[in-house]
Amino acid sequence: MIEKTFLNPATNKQWRIEIDGHTIRTCLNGGKVKEILCDSAFQVRSKAASAMMGQMRKGFVYQNPDAAVGQARCHRFVGKDSNGFMPLAAALTRDDFFLTRVVGDFEDETLYHFDGSGEILETVSLGAKRMTYEQVLCPNDTLLLNNSYLLQQFSLRTHEITPFANKKNSMKAMLDASGDLALWYTGEEIVVFDFGSNTEVWRETVKCKKSKDPNFAYYCFGMLSPRQSKAAYRVTEGEYVLVDLKSAQKVVIPNEGWHPFFSPDDQCFSVGGRFYLTQTGEETANPFPFAVPQGLNFSDTCIVRGDLKLMDDGRLRFEKLANNDNDIKVGEQVVTSYVSDRFVQGLFIGYISEINVDSNYLTRSGYITPAVDFSKIQEVLVLTKTKEDMTNGADDESASDTAKGE
């Protein structure tokens, strides 16, 4: 059984939710208990999430200072506007953390400073027509921001934003942090810098190749290991490179997958559901006490359809999903991909609620629960730029870079 208690700081009221099998019970401030019976585990998750979001929109906040690994320490609502990017920046040595969010139709971008319990300490306006994809917190009281592929440095003391590393938007950026170390890409080199000692740890000249996957303009990825002994990067098709930051020795990992991560002790590197020893690159068995499925990746595409009958049922149908080795389960998210000639990739559609193998055994189909209830929708986001408008800029700049190189 799962129990969570939310507190509204403004009214000091409490709201409690209890999930017991297929039954959901809620209670406001010790009053009457409301009970919801569900038909499936997926429906439990969906209805419970909807109920919690409804209360958080009213100002209720969930706090769990004793949260274990993998559990939420804080859960709160920060605003109705969302473009899919709300990057967090935190450090193991600090309780506070930061979140960046676009407001409205890019009228502003707001930086939120939270304390360890999720209370807002400060909000800072970063300016209009910005979109921070990722950010990292450095020991020198600065944030490094990836603002639409432009790296910038933000001072927590003066709130000043200054250009950092790369000089122009080239659709190529890397940014990560671990302990006192930070990793970034200058447009020509990968740099690992120690902000604690103010020294450079490692630098490598690389060229990010243009991606053959239509979802990404370039292969450009870099990350640091938890204990700061390793770095990993990908700048070409079909391989990752692991770097020992003390010896500068490299190990090449042949893998086309996504979702890479290191083990907590830096001894294992996982990508695409496979596992490798970081010292030798040798493939090994799963060392973790949990399964790591390859899952739905960016190359898995399907056709999503809707009609009036399905709308009444609150469902969408998907078809022509390849019946490959990727283990796709009920509850996984579905987003728009490069296939559409109207929508840019990455827009959240909903969750898979049913999936079946078709009679031809080559494809799979099923149903999606939309991210929103269209019968209760009150606000919509209007896209003022077409997919062609947003992608032509990157193509033009790529052509310009090629011309200069020639």
| Structure tokens belonging to residue 328 | 């796709």
What's the structural domain count of the chain? 3
d(CA 192, CA 248): 12
Q: Are 253 and 350 contained in the same domain?
A: no
Q: Are 346 and 368 contained in the same domain?
A: yes
Please classify residue 170 by burial: count the beta carbons closer than 10 Å to its beta carbon, then call 0-12 exposed, 13-18 middle and 19+ buried. buried
CB 225 within 8 A of CB 231: yes
Q: Does residue 401 sit within a domain?
A: no
Q: Does residue 69 sit within a domain?
A: no
Q: Are 308 and 268 contained in the same domain?
A: no
How many whole angstroms from its chain centre is CA 138?
20
Q: Are 54 and 107 contained in the same domain?
A: no
CB 48 within 8 A of CB 19: yes
d(CA 76, CA 74): 7
With b meaning 16 or more CB within 10 Å and e meaning fewer, what string describes 386-396?
ebeeebeeeee
CB atoms within 10 A of CB 65: 10
For the chain, the first-to-last Cα distance in angstroms comes to 64
What pLDDT does 360 receive? Answer: 81
Beta bridge partners of residue 263, listed in sequence order? none
Q: Which CATH number is 263's domain given?
A: 2.130.10.10
Per-residue pLDDT tens digits of the chain, which is 406 residues long: 899 999 999 999 999 999 999 999 999 999 999 999 998 887 888 889 889 989 999 999 999 888 887 788 889 988 876 666 789 999 988 989 999 999 888 899 999 999 988 889 999 999 999 999 999 999 999 999 999 889 999 999 999 999 988 766 677 889 999 999 999 998 889 999 999 999 999 999 999 998 876 656 788 999 999 999 999 999 998 899 999 999 999 999 999 887 899 999 999 999 988 999 999 999 999 998 877 765 555 567 888 887 777 777 778 999 988 887 777 878 788 888 765 666 666 677 888 888 998 888 788 999 998 877 666 666 676 766 665 565 555 445 444 444 444 4
Shortest CA distance to 154 belongs to which of 172, 171, 168, 175?
175
Q: Does residue 185 sit within a domain?
A: yes
Domain boundary (284, 316, 335) is at: 284
Q: Are 127 and 177 contained in the same domain?
A: yes
d(CA 304, CA 301): 10
d(CA 265, CA 279): 12
Shortest CA distance to 337 belongs to which of 326, 323, 348?
348
Question: What are the strands of the beta sheet with 142-147, ordered from one edge?
Answer: 132-138, 142-147, 150-155, 161-163
Q: Does residue 171 sit within a domain?
A: yes
CB 331 within 8 A of CB 351: yes
CB atoms within 10 A of CB 250: 13
Q: Does residue 298 sit within a domain?
A: no
Q: Are 158 and 49 contained in the same domain?
A: no
Q: Are 109 and 252 contained in the same domain?
A: yes
Angle at 190 between CA 184 and CA 195, to 5 degrees: 50
| Structure tokens belonging to residue 248 | 């500068």
Three-state SS at 387 = helix
Three-state SS at 293 = coil
CB 178 within 8 A of CB 263: no
**Region class of 324: left (phi > 0), else alpha (psi between -120 and 50), else beta:** beta
Q: Are 249 and 351 contained in the same domain?
A: no
Q: Are 251 and 226 contained in the same domain?
A: yes
What pLDDT does 181 receive? Answer: 96
**Sequential DSSP letters for 322-387:** E-SS----TT-EEE--TT-SSS-TT-EEEEEEEEEE-TTSSEEEEEEEESS-TTS--------S-H
| Structure tokens belonging to residue 140 | 């020198």
Q: Are 260 and 116 contained in the same domain?
A: yes
CB 56 within 8 A of CB 77: yes
d(CA 137, CA 21): 40
Q: What CA dihedral angle connects 344, 345, 351 and 354, to 10 degrees?
A: 100
Q: Which CATH number is 367's domain given?
A: 2.40.10.350
What pLDDT does 337 receive? Answer: 73
Q: Does residue 187 sit within a domain?
A: yes
What pLDDT does 399 receive? Answer: 46
Q: What CA dihedral angle connects 302, 303, 304 and 307, to 10 degrees?
A: -150
CB 53 within 8 A of CB 44: no
Q: For residue 340, what are the domain limits? A: 303-389
Q: Does residue 333 sit within a domain?
A: yes
Q: Which CATH number is 40's domain given?
A: 2.20.140
d(CA 84, CA 133): 9
Q: Are 165 and 272 contained in the same domain?
A: yes
Q: Are 58 and 110 contained in the same domain?
A: no
Q: Does residue 406 sit within a domain?
A: no
The kind and range of the H/E element at 181 are strand 181-185
